[in-house]
């Protein structure tokens, strides 16, 4: 039983060089709470818009599913959190996990009581599964801590992937991927020609880009007025 796991943050590039002049705009805390899944993204979007920068987008997901062969009975399970990659409907009988992700999810801290988004691969290791991680081309694997369990880690070479997969799990990772990328996520989900099972509610998050653009213009005007006033004194 081979399981393919895809985290949508694989398709959301962020700067890897801390000296990158835009790196500070991506210095985001990541917690799977309602605030970090939704509200926080407005302020993060404003940080770009106030500087006249376009919002970063998901890219490279088109045609991804065509790289894989699936068994006739294969299903795609999906959720927001990657913790559900070890859901009881997903992990039964799995002997190999192939993960496409910007993170290895194989343990960064002491384990909790249940699988979390950053350590669910450890639980697959405990059931004897072979673990493989393919990082996106933009990701620097050296920035990741050493996994808590043996994991084969390489950059994705692209092209067709060997073998047949019997099960698929896809997560949105809404604490890492912003709501303005939700349309791309759902298009990616629909592009997979497999029966789909939602393991938790995954809906499009409210995001008022027009309102934020208006707000950024008002903020920018206020800053210009303040600068002019400073020049008078």
What pLDDT, on the 0 to 100 scale, is given for residue 232?
Answer: 47
**Residue 10: enclosing H or E segment and its boundaries?**
none
Does residue 42 belong to any structural domain of this protein? Answer: no
Minimal CA–CA distance to 2: which of 96, 73, 67? 96
pLDDT tens profile 183-211: 999 999 999 999 999 999 999 999 999 99
What pLDDT, on the 0 to 100 scale, is given for residue 15?
Answer: 96
List, run by run, the mean pLDDT of 10-residue segments along the chain (233 residues): 98 96 92 92 93 95 98 98 97 97 93 89 96 97 94 96 97 97 98 98 94 83 54 50
Domain that holds residue 162: 2-11+57-198
Q: Which residues of 71-86 are buried (b: 16+ CB within 10 A; e: fewer)?
A: eeebbbbbbbbbbbbb
What pLDDT, on the 0 to 100 scale, is given for residue 121?
Answer: 97
Does residue 101 belong to any structural domain of this protein? Answer: yes
pLDDT tens profile 45-59: 999 999 889 999 999
Count how many domains the chain has. Answer: 1
What pLDDT, on the 0 to 100 scale, is given for residue 222?
Answer: 52
Does residue 167 belong to any structural domain of this protein? Answer: yes
Q: Which residues of 133-172 are buried (b: 16+ CB within 10 A; e: fewer)?
A: bbbbebbeeeebeebbbebebeebeeeebeeebbbbbbbb
Does residue 61 belong to any structural domain of this protein? Answer: yes
What pLDDT, on the 0 to 100 scale, is given for residue 230?
Answer: 58
Does residue 102 belong to any structural domain of this protein? Answer: yes
Q: Which residue has the tokens 């699936």?
A: 70
Phi-psi region of 83 (alpha: psi -120 to 50; beta: other; left: phi over 0): alpha
Q: Which two tokens stand for residue 222?
A: 């206020």
pLDDT tens profile 92-102: 999 999 999 99
Does residue 21 belong to any structural domain of this protein? Answer: no
Q: pTM value? A: 0.91
């Amino acid at each position: 039983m081979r399981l393919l796991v895809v985290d949508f943050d694989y398709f959301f590039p962020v700067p890897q060089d801390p000296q990158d002049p835009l790196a500070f705009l991506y210095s985001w805390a990541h917690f799977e709470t309602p605030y970090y899944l939704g509200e926080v993204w407005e302020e993060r979007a404003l940080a770009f818009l106030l500087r006249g920068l376009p919002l970063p987008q998901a890219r490279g997901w088109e045609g991804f599913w065509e790289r894989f062969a699936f068994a006739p009975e294969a299903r795609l399970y999906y959720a927001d959190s990657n913790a559900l990659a070890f859901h009881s409907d997903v992990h039964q009988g799995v002997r190999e996990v192939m993960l496409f992700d910007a993170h290895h999810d194989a343990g960064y801290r002491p384990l909790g009581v249940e699988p979390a988004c950053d350590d669910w691969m450890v639980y697959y290791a405990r059931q004897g599964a072979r673990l493989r991680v393919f990082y996106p081309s933009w990701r620097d694997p050296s920035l990741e801590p050493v996994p808590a369990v043996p994991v084969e880690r390489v950059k994705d070479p692209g092209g067709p992937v060997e073998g047949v997969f019997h099960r698929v799990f896809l997560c949105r990772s809404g604490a890492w991927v912003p709501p303005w990328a939700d349309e791309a996520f759902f298009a990616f989900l629909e592009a997979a020609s497999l029966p789909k099972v939602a393991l938790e509610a995954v809906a499009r998050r409210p995001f008022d880009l027009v309102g934020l653009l208006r707000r950024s213009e008002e903020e920018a005007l206020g800053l210009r007025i303040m600068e002019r006033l400073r020049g008078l004194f």
